Amino acid sequence: MLDMFSLKGRVALVTGSSQGLGWAMAEALAGAGAHIVLNARNKEKCEDRKRDLEAKGSSASVQAFDVTDLAAINQAVAEIDRAHGRLDILVNNAGIVTRNLLQDVTEEQWSSVLDTDLTACFRLAREASKVMARNKWGRIINISSVMGVIARPSIAPYVASKAGVHGLTRALAVELASKGITCNCIGPGFYPGAQNEVVRRDKSFYDWVSNRAPAGRWGDPAELGGAVIYFASPASSFCTGQVLMVDGGMTISL
């Protein structure tokens, strides 16, 4: 029964995987047997993570590039294909957030967040799906947020991009299913990480988030492991176009 969760022989590209939630998901996929292609803009950090995985007996390589760079995306996917003859799993995790009230959001901030958090997902999925379709098997996993279905002040571009990721997930799912490719989405709640370090230092906000979720706490990045393995593995072969909120119950609670 557990064989359906095995990723042995699969190749997975995880964007934004040098730290935070991306690293936690890369670790989980590696533990299930996948070869992990680590990605971030900082190559040195990726190389450090590669050594971490190899020390645990896992297989990994590095493709360091900016996900908003279309030429770099095309080159990376081509290099993965040349090296492995396949790309089975894409985890679109890389993302940024800016904090500004609506009247102060600049055109540059809006474009930067949308380019990183939404457009990059589209571009990577487009290029990766070409390799997946050739092998008639693929898993695209987009990483959204609770902010894809609810909102809070000062992050309008982020909220818009994450809601867009949900729509993109459904669009890819209906188009790619006949090619043997599924597309699903994970919506994390509040987890500690570099993006929210500033607000986490505010004890009143930290406690408010903890009390807002029925689970009564922030999440542990490792708790995303089960969800990403499920969506990446044969266990989810008849599941596509879905958004799974891993948020301690935040989005279903008043």
State CA 113 to chain mean position distance. 15
CA–CA gap between residue 103 and residue 115 (Å, rounded): 20
Q: Is the dihedral angle over the CA atoms 105, 110, 111, 112 positive or is it negative?
A: positive
Token couple for 123 = 């571009």
Q: Is 124 helix (H, G, I), strand (E, B) or coil?
A: helix
Cα dist from 109 to 18, 46, 193, 211, 253, whole Å: 23, 26, 21, 31, 31
Q: What angle do CA 50, 56, 58 make, to 5 degrees?
A: 60
Where is 188: in which H helix or E strand?
strand 181-188
DSSP 218: P
CA–CA gap between residue 61 and residue 233 (Å, rounded): 20
User: Active-site residues: which are they?
Assistant: 158
Under a CB-based contact definition with an 8 Å cutoff, are residues 145 and 113 in contact? no
Under a CB-based contact definition with an 8 Å cutoff, are residues 121 and 168 in contact? yes
